[in-house]
Amino acid sequence: MPPDRFTHAVDVPAPTGQIWSALQDADTWKGIGPIDDVWAASHDPDGTLASYRWAATAAGKRWEGTARRVALAPGTSIRLALDSSEITGAIEVAVEAGESSRLTVALEASPKGLMATMFWPVVSDALRRGIQTQVEQFAARFGAGGSGQASTA
C-alpha cells in the first residue's frame, strides 16, 4: 500500500538562509504531522540535522519513534524518514527563494503496526485535516503572514 501524502506550502517573509538555519534545530520540527516532542538530535560536523527521536500522543498513549535524514539539498530541502512501532513515513521541507521564501512541507505516512492499521482511516483523516494548520504554525515561527496552498494525495 503506498503511503498517504499530505502537502502544504506557504509564503514566509524571511530569508531562505534564516529558515534553513532553523530547520537544523530539531525543536523546529515539533508540531508537524504526528510529532509532539523531539529530543536526542544529532548533527553532521557542519551543523546539518542528521536525526532525532520523536514522540506523538494519540488515543491517550505516547508513541515514540525516530527521524533520520535520508535526502539533503543544502539550503534547499531536507527529507527525514520517520519510523515508529505503528507508523512509518517521511517529512520533507523545501525552501525556495523569491519575493518571499516559499516553504513547502510534505508528509507521507503509512500504518505499520496492528493498532495503526485498524484505525488508519481515522489517523489518515486527522493528518489530512491537520497539515494546513500545522504548516501555517510551523511557518509562523519564521514570521509567516502569507497565504498557503494545501494538497493531499
Whole-number Cα distances in Å, 90 to 20, 42, 45, 129, 143: 18, 18, 23, 18, 25
pLDDT in tens, 54-69: 998 876 778 899 999 9
pLDDT in tens, 3-32: 899 999 999 988 999 999 999 999 999 988
Write down the pLDDT at residue 16: 93
The domain segmentation of the chain, as residue ranges, is 4-152
Task: Say whether pLDDT at 147 is over 80.
Answer: no
Chain-centroid distance, C-alpha 49: 13
Write down the pLDDT at residue 149: 53
Prediction pTM value: 0.87
State the virtual CA torsion across 49, 53, 57, 62 in degrees, nearest 10.
Answer: -170
Q: Please give the CATH topology (third level) of the domain spanning 4-152.
A: Alpha-D-Glucose-1,6-Bisphosphate; Chain A, domain 4 (3.30.530)
Cα–Cα distance, 110 to 89 (Å, whole number): 6
